[in-house]
Amino acid sequence: MAKQQRDGGHDTSGATREARGRVAEQLARLERSERDALHGLQGALCSYVGALKGEGASADQVTAAVRELVRTPATPDAELVIAPAVREALVHLAVSWCAAEFARQEEMANSNARQDSRSDGERQEPDGSAASHA
């Protein structure tokens, strides 16, 4: 069995560690002021949220993991490039992205569960109501 690490108070698998590594790479790009780094960071964070959520992490655990990761400089010169206030603003931005992604995935899971329950003996009427058939 692969060794698991803790991430925001949550044990993580190799897939989640890989997603975390992609976030660190995108954060390093941002710290080097590379083009489109902020967009890349957002996409990597969404993948990381999905990986953590897929392992059963709570919203609080995901938030803690994201805060910890984004607060940690990814390059040796990061503290010279990104002022502490800017880093904190980035943390807040990242947390808001992740909260939105977590909620989106929750809604998707709930929608899929509703679809599954309808297909287990119910069909959708043209007006959108569900009708059971015995």
Q: Quickly count: other Cβ atoms within 10 Å of residue 103's Cβ.
A: 11
Quote the pLDDT of residue 29.
94
Least Cα distance to 20 among 92, 105, 125, 98 occurs for 98
Q: Is the pLDDT of residue 71 over 70?
A: yes
The predicted model gives 93-99 an average pLDDT of: 88
Q: Is the pLDDT of residue 65 over 90?
A: yes
Q: Is the pLDDT of residue 61 over 90?
A: yes
Q: Is the pLDDT of residue 129 over 80?
A: no
The predicted model gives 92-107 an average pLDDT of: 88
User: How far out from the chain centre does Cα 31 lie?
Assistant: 20
> In the predicted model, what is the mean pLDDT of the chain?
82
Q: How many helices (H) and strands (E) does the chain have?
A: 5, 4
Alpha-helical segments (H) within the chain: 14-31, 37-54, 59-71, 78-81, 84-119
Quote the pLDDT of residue 25.
95
Q: Is the pLDDT of residue 7 over 60?
A: no
